[in-house]
Amino acid sequence: MTIHLFRGITCAAVTMSLLSLGLASCQSTMSQPTVAAGKASLPPRGTTTELDETPEQRNERMKWWREAKFGMFIHWGVYSVPAGTYDGKQIAGIGEWIMNRAKIPCEVYQQYAKVFNPVKYDPDAWAALAHEAGMRYIVITSKHHDGFALFPTAASKWNVVDATPYGQDLIGPLSTAARNRGLHFGLYYSQAQDWNNPGGAAAGGHWDKLQDSKTMDEYIDAVAVPQVREILTRYQPAVLWWDTPKDMNPERAEKLRALLSLDPGVITNNRLGGGYKGDTETPEQRIPATGFVDRDWETCMTMNGTWGYKSYDQNWKSTEDLVRKLCDIVSKGGNFLLNVGPTSEGLIPEASVERLKEVGKWMKVNGEAIYATTASPFAKLDFGRCTKKVTDRGTTLYLLVFDWPKDGKLMLPGLRNKVATATLLATGASLSTHNSDAGVVVSVPAEMPDPIVTVVKVELIGALNITE
């Protein structure tokens, strides 16, 4: 790996200070860098693109994603330095929006980069954690709304190589580590909002005159298009996750969409803007009641109350809650993209690590009920959720039991099939079943074997037959 020496951001002296540091100007920060990035060696990819493909090619392109079900979202950047606090005050809202919420001037905010030095960053450990949690893919913020790139870029010096003492690419090593673990690797990119590179959009409007020194179209041409070209060709992400398409008209969006042919097989979401739907819907912090009809979808969600790291946010979801959310999402045909927000040192918070390992223990036993399954055939189940697998050999139902029945009976309403076998997935213990006028009844032990979610595997005879 090439080690790039830190080059400080030059600017005229100013009287304000932050954390006893001098200030850099937006203009000098945005000047062209002197070091070009190298291209990583990556495994080969597919040959289709969303620009021109048959339904069969689309299904093949989406196959791994539809089977994966569970992924890790990573929000990381300069905002992890203030960690939710600015000018001695805790700033309300999500951590990565601190610049916007607190209206921090560019020259002040850029000083955080001078102390962004993630020397404890271990991409192999991050990939290992995702793998241990049962996740099948990773999506990390290559550039969030503050415009700071976690990769070396020729389009702006506001990046990890040119603006920090760390001086090294953060994306390439994680890409390699993820793929070495058998994980698909994706990149988030904020294509419209950019609060430091002049001309980028800003929710609520700009608050620093330097942000208005260029137009949105100039920003798209000078920063967004070149950077998207860089990440597509250098890292060949399996997923490109756009976000917040503010002021993205069709002409601006088309310049970015056209670049997708550089990375055959890439999967995109519905947040590019300009009328483009992409491949996936992206409900945020919520699980839709019935999923989406005829659309692939993915719920993205935080483990506490923020995406980017906030030192004082301890509102952590329990392991049980996370596992049940995963089951709920998959039972409706969706994927679960669960976020971690690393510190400025490069550490995933211990509370996140603990929960992911606990989720992984459940997944190691019960992953068969999650991976490569499709949505429940039942409109409602009193005891929990259901996923299914349909093959030439028949249909298998996985009953994801949240509420253990007091009478020891799980009712599958309207199911008319005969049951070949019914077992506890964790142990293989056989369960008895019988068909009734109301449906199939599965008899279970008095005590719930797994208090988080117990899975009952039911293999059916013949094609699935459910009547209301």
Do residue 257 and residue 300 come from a single domain?
yes
Q: How many domains does the chain have?
A: 2
At residue 278, φ and ψ (nearest 5 deg) are 65, -160
Do residue 322 and residue 441 come from a single domain?
no
Is residue 182 in a domain?
yes
Is residue 12 in a domain?
no
Look at residue 392 in the predicted model and tell me its pLDDT. Answer: 86
Look at residue 51 in the predicted model and tell me its pLDDT. Answer: 56
Do residue 433 and residue 345 come from a single domain?
no
Spans in the chain with pLDDT lower than 70: 1-51
Last residue of a domain, one of 316, 335, 369: 369
CB-based contact 269:242 (threshold 8 Å): yes
415 - beta bridge partners? 466
Do residue 267 and residue 335 come from a single domain?
yes
Do residue 332 and residue 301 come from a single domain?
yes
Is residue 378 in a domain?
no
Last residue of a domain, one of 326, 343, 369: 369
Do residue 333 and residue 409 come from a single domain?
no
Amino acid identity at 132 = E
Q: Output the domain CATH number for residue 83.
A: 3.20.20.80
Is residue 254 in a domain?
yes
Do residue 331 and residue 221 come from a single domain?
yes
Do residue 113 and residue 81 come from a single domain?
yes
Q: Output the domain CATH number for residue 411.
A: 2.60.40.1180
Look at residue 116 in the predicted model and tell me its pLDDT. Answer: 98
Whole-prediction pTM value? 0.91
Look at residue 220 in the predicted model and tell me its pLDDT. Answer: 98
Is residue 465 in a domain?
no
Do residue 81 and residue 151 come from a single domain?
yes
Is residue 13 in a domain?
no
Look at residue 397 in the predicted model and tell me its pLDDT. Answer: 98
- State which residues form the domain around 388: 384-460
Last residue of a domain, one of 369, 400, 435: 369
For residue 182, CA distances in Å to 130, 185, 336 come to: 11, 9, 18
Do residue 281 and residue 388 come from a single domain?
no
Do residue 174 and residue 312 come from a single domain?
yes
Angle between helices 123-132 and 171-180 (to 10 degrees): 40
Look at residue 468 in the predicted model and tell me its pLDDT. Answer: 76
Do residue 403 and residue 359 come from a single domain?
no
Is residue 3 in a domain?
no
